[in-house]
C-alpha cells in the first residue's frame, strides 16, 4: 500500500492517511469513495450523521478489495448516546454500510452536559468484545473527558479524532494522548481549505519542494505522527492528497509550520457542543 500504518494501542494497524466524507451527499459518496479507493486509499472516515454510510458501503462492496485490506470508521451521533440507543444505532450503521464489522467506531462528541458518554462507551466495549468493531475510540474529547472515561471503563480508546491543523495544533491534547497510548487523528487536517492553503509560509515551502500547499500541510501532520483524513470530491485533489509519502519536510519547514499556531477553531468547542 501507498500509505504506511500506525499501530494502535491494541496492536491493530491503521493507515496513517484516509479519506474523509463529511458533507459528501449519499448519492455522490459512492463515486468519491470509488475514486479514493482507485487512488490507493484504504481507510474511509464516515459517520451516521453524514448520512452517506450507504454510498460509502456501496463503493466498498463494488471495489472488490479484500475486506481485511480496508479500514472503515464510522461514528455514533449525539442523539444516540446511552447504552441501549448505542447498540441500536450501531446495528443501523452496520446495515447501511453493508458490513459485518467496522474497523473503528467513535463517539462523535462527548457532550459533557448530557453526561452519557460513559454508558455509551460501555456499549462500545460490548460491540468490541463481539468483534463487530475491531477498535473503539472517541472524537472531540478533551483530556478531562478522556481522563474520566479511562477511570470509569476498561478499554483505553485507540483513537481520539480531533480538529487539528496548523492554525489549531492541539499540543496539550497530543501530549496527553501520547502519554495514554491514544492515537491522535486530525479532522479538518487542511483547515477545510479555507485560507490555510494560501498562507505565504506554506506556499513558500510548497514551491521549495515542488509540491502543493495541501501536500505540505498533510506531510507536516504525517511527520508529527498524526493520522489524517483529508476530504475532497475532486478526483485530481483526491489523488494529490495521498501523494505525500515520497518527500520529506526539513526541520526548518516543520518549525515554520509549527510557528503558525493560533489556537483557532473552525468547529465547535467540545466542552459546550451538545446539539441534537
Ligand atoms: P479538510 O481539512 O479535509 O478540507 C477539505 C476541503 O479542503 C475540501 O472540501 C476542499 O475545499 C479543500 N481541499 C481538499 N483537498 C485540497 C487540495 N488538494 N487542494 C486544495 N484544496 C483542497 O476538511 P474536512 O472535510 O472538514 O475534514 C476532513 C474529514 O474529517 C471530514 O471529511 C470528516 O471525515 C472528518 N471530520 C470529523 C469531524 C468530527 O467531529 N469528528 C468534524 C469535521 C470533519
Q: Which phi-psi region, left, alpha or beta, contains residue 80 (left: φ > 0; alpha: ψ -120 to 50)? A: alpha
- 117 confidence band (pLDDT: 50, 70, 90): very high
Percentage of the chain surpassing pLDDT 90?
A: 97
The pLDDT value recorded for residue 19 is 98
State whether the beta carbon of 237 lies less than 6 angstroms from ligand 1.
yes
- Ligand 1 proximity of 270 Cβ (cutoff 6 Å): no
CA of 230 to the centre of ligand 1 (A): 5
Maximal C-alpha separation, the chain:
54
pLDDT score of 274 more than 90:
no
Q: What is the pLDDT of residue 218?
A: 98
What's the pLDDT tens digit per position in 89-102? 999 999 999 999 99
Q: Can you tell me the distance from the alpha carbon of 10 to that of 240, in angstroms, rounded to the nearest whole number?
A: 31
Q: Which CATH number fits domain 5-193+225-243: 3.40.50.1820, 3.20.20.60, 2.60.40.2550, 3.20.20.100?
A: 3.20.20.100
Does the beta carbon of 235 sit less than 6 angstroms from any atom of ligand 1? no
Q: What is the pLDDT of residues 55-84, one digit of tens each?
A: 999 999 999 999 999 999 999 999 999 999
Nearest CA to ligand 1 atom 34: 20
41 is catalytic: no
What does the block give as the cell for 63?
471495489
Per-residue model confidence (pLDDT) at position 276 = 56
pLDDT given at position 195: 93
- Determine the angle formed by the axes of helices 213-224 and 200-209, rounding to 10 degrees: 90
pLDDT in tens, 15-40: 999 999 999 999 999 999 999 999 99
171: pLDDT strictly greater than 90: yes
The interface predicted TM-score (ipTM) is 0.99
Q: What mean pLDDT is predicted for residues 181-209?
A: 97
pLDDT of 275 higher than 70? no
Amino acid at each position: 500500500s501507498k500509505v504506511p500504518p500506525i499501530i494502535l494501542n491494541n496492536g491493530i494497524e491503521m493507515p496513517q492517511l484516509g479519506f474523509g466524507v463529511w458533507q459528501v451527499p449519499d448519492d455522490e459518496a459512492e463515486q468519491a469513495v470509488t475514486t479514493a479507493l482507485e487512488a490507493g486509499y484504504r481507510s474511509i472516515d464516515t459517520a451516521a450523521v453524514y448520512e452517506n454510510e450507504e454510498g460509502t458501503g456501496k463503493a466498498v462492496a463494488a471495489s472488490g478489495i479484500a475486506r481485511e485490506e480496508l479500514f472503515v470508521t464510522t461514528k455514533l451521533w449525539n442523539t444516540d448516546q446511552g447504552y441501549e440507543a448505542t447498540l441500536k444505532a450501531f446495528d443501523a450503521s452496520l446495515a447501511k454500510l453493508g458490513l459485518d464489522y467496522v474497523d473503528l467506531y467513535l463517539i462523535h462528541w462527548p457532550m459533557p452536559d448530557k453526561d452519557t458518554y460513559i454508558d455509551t462507551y460501555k456499549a462500545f466495549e460490548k460491540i468490541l468484545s463481539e468483534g463487530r468493531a475491531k477498535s473503539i475510540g472517541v472524537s472531540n474529547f478533551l483530556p478531562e473527558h478522556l481522563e474520566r472515561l479511562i477511570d470509569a471503563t476498561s478499554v483505553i480508546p485507540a483513537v481520539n479524532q480531533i480538529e487539528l491543523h496548523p492554525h489549531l495544533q492541539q499540543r496539550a491534547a497530543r501530549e496527553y494522548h501520547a502519554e495514554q497510548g491514544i492515537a491522535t487523528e486530525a479532522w479538518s487536517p487542511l483547515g477545510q481549505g479555507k485560507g490555510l492553503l494560501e498562507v505565504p509560509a506554506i506556499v513558500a515551502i510548497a514551491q521549495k519542494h515542488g509540491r502543493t500547499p495541501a501536500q505540505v500541510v498533510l506531510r507536516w501532520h504525517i511527520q508529527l505522527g498524526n493520522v489524517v483524513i483529508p476530504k475532497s470530491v475532486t478526483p485530481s485533489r483526491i489523488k494529490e492528497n495521498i501523494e505525500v509519502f515520497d518527500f520529506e519536510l526539513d526541520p526548518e519547514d516543520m518549525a515554520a509550520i509549527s510557528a503558525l499556531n493560533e489556537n483557532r477553531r473552525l468547529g465547535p468547542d467540545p466542552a459546550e457542543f451538545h446539539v441534537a
